[in-house]
Structures are given as C-alpha cells and as structure tokens.
C-alpha cells in the first residue's frame, strides 16, 4: 500500500497511482490533524474528495507519530499530551479523539490508537504499553461511530513472544474486519521480527486480513507473506526514490553513481512503468543530480510499480502453488 502521509503520495497524482496498479493508499491522522485539520477535510467531503482518490484509503491512528515525532509527550491511561513537531503547540490525543478524527477524515479502514513501544525496552515497560493499548482499544471501539469504516485493532507486546501471544489473544475479539501487527520494523534485526511473526502466525484469525505495519522492502514482503501477512505499507519506495535509489529486478540501483552517466539503457528492462518505457539511466541520473523534480517523481513511479507488481506475482504464485519457487527465483536475481 503506497503511503500518502499528507493526503498525497509524495509528488504523484492519483491518475499515476491508478496506472501503476495501486488499490489502496494510506494517510496519517497525526499529520492531517496538525495540517490542515480534520474538520476542514470533513467539510471538503472527506479524504477521498479532498485528494481526488476514488479507491480505498486507510488512515493510521497517529499513535506512532505521536511517539516518534512529538517534541514532548506525557503518556497516561487517559491519553497522550504532546507538543506539535511543527510549532510546539500542545495537543491531547485520547483513544476517543483519535477515533473521532479518523471518523471525520472518512477513510475506509481506520486504526485503533495504540502505544508503540520502541525496540530495546525492558519487559515491564513492554507490558505496560501492551496493557494500555488494550485498554485504549476497547475505548476506540466504543467511540467508533461510522459503520462504513472498518476499524482494525493493533497487536503490540514488544519483542517478548509470550507478551505478543497474549496481546493477540486479547485483541482477536475486536478483529471484526482485520487485524494489524504494530511495533515491528523499528530497528530490530530481521530475525527478531521473523521470530515474532512465526509465533503469531498459527494464532492469527484466518478469516480476516492481516496487516504488518511499516514494512515494504522486497525481502520483508516475501518473508511476511510466508508468515501469513496480507497487507503492508512503507514510505521507503518513494523516500529512497527522491535520492535516486531504484528497486529493480536485479537489485538496488543508485542512479547517482558515475557508472550510469552515459548508460542509455532503461532503468529496469523487466518493468513496464512509464519511467522504464521512456527514460534512460543517464537521463534519470542527470535529473537527480540537478535536483530536477521529475527525477524523483519518475523513480517513485517505478519503485511503487515494482513493489505492486511484485505483490501481483506473489498472489499468482500462491494460486499456482509455487510461491517458494518464485521466492527463490526472485532472490537469485535481486540479491546478486
């Protein structure tokens, strides 16, 4: 799922997103609350009309941003008091208010307000964050007023497997439309993330989508699917694109490198996106090195299309019962 934090997938139009096959995009509650405000977006007819996106949209609760971006914060069972990273103004998010904001934004899928614990905290603090997340989850469901929006709960518990399993068991009753796994891909070694997912996999509800939050590299997509995950999001493909880094069928390619200065080959010969149909590596290098907006835009188009097409191929491989073979084939080319 491409990430459109500020009600836009950075530098791309809805038409471009549709062309590359995006089915759903994300926006961020915290950022849209700060600017331009959820009431303004509600007055515009909701997020879809505000940004001219006629397909599904998901908003996260803002919890991760409150904990990672806010200059100062104080967490209690009531909620989180924090200062804006923009102007320092003080704000207070409760589970009820985070839900109310998302109701106003009007996304199709909204997330419960949770406390995302950082990697490396001790067991006591991880349990406190998990217990608070579960208390807030019940309050979010009580406050949720829009039956047209699917509210996903979030499993927390840090990196303790027993805590994670307890969190999942107590969260499942709220997983009426889907369930999310938060607090992973926060700086831990990949093996630790995989261990958590391995433990959760047999206990996840089989009838609802499973969403691994904040994950988007090709290897994490494969490993997540292998462990029962259906949905992923990450800012990585567009963020690295603006710095000239492309994800290709032969691995990562940084067009800033001098070796591409006279390379008139396509960015990725196996890709059919607009960028790869039209522009050479030399031209893209020129755009990036001269800070021309088109360079970042085109590599963003390519990176998103690359990951969306990868997920298309993963779905096809699963249906034809050759997922592990496809994973091996992809890895043999990508990790050269």
Query: 90-93 and 25-28 as β-strands: parallel, antiparallel, unpaired?
Result: unpaired
What CA dihedral angle connects 72, 75, 76 and 82, to 10 degrees? 40
Q: List the catalytic residue out of 60, 77, 263, 291.
A: 60
Residue 267: count other Cβ atoms within 10 Å of its Cβ.
26
Listed in sequence order, the residues at least 6 apart from 202 whose beta carbon sits closer than 8 Å to its beta carbon are none
CA–CA distance, 330 with 70 (Å, rounded to integer) = 39
Q: List the catalytic residue out of 114, 233, 291, 325.
A: 233
Q: Is 108 in the active site? A: no
> CA separation (Å) from 41 to 30, 37, 52, 127?
13, 7, 12, 36
Q: Is 160 in the active site? A: no
| Two tokens, residue 52 | 């001219």
Diameter of the chain measured on Cα atoms: 61
Q: Which residues are catalytic?
A: 60, 233
């Amino acid at each position: 799922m491409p990430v459109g934090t500020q009600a836009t997938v950075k530098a791309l139009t809805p038409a471009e997103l549709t062309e590359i096959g995006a089915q759903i995009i994300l926006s961020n509650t915290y950022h849209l609350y700060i600017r331009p405000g959820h009431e303004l977006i509600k007055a515009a007819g909701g997020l879809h009309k505000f940004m001219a996106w006629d397909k599904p949209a998901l908003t996260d609760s803002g919890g991760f941003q409150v904990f990672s971006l806010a200059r100062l914060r104080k967490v209690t069972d009531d909620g989180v008091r924090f200062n804006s990273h923009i102007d320092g103004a003080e704000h207070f998010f409760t589970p009820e208010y985070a839900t109310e904001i998302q109701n106003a934004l009007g996304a199709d899928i909204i997330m419960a307000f949770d406390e995302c614990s950082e990697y490396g905290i001790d067991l006591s603090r991880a349990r406190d964050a998990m217990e608070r997340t579960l208390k807030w989850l019940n309050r979010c469901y009580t406050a949720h007023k829009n039956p047209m929006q699917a509210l996903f709960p979030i499993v927390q518990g840090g990196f303790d497997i027993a805590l994670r399993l307890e969190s999942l068991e107590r969260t499942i009753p709220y997983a009426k439309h889907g369930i999310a796994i938060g607090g992973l891909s926060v700086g831990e070694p990949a093996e630790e993330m995989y261990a958590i997912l391995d433990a959760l996999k047999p206990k996840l509800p089989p009838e609802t989508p499973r969403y691994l939050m904040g994950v988007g590299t090709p290897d994490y997509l494969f490993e997540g699917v292998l462990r029962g995950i259906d949905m992923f999001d990450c800012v990585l493909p567009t963020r690295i694109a603006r710095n000239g880094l492309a994800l290709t069928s032969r691995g990562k390619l940084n067009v800033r490198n001098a070796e591409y200065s006279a390379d008139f080959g396509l960015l990725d010969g196996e890709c059919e996106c607009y960028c790869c149909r039209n522009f050479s590596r030399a031209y893209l290098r020129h755009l990036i090195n001269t800070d021309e907006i088109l360079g970042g835009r085109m590599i963003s188009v390519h990176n998103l299309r690359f990951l969306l097409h990868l997920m298309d191929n993963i779905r096809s491989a699963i249906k034809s019962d050759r997922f592990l073979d496809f994973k091996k084939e992809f890895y043999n080319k990508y990790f050269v």
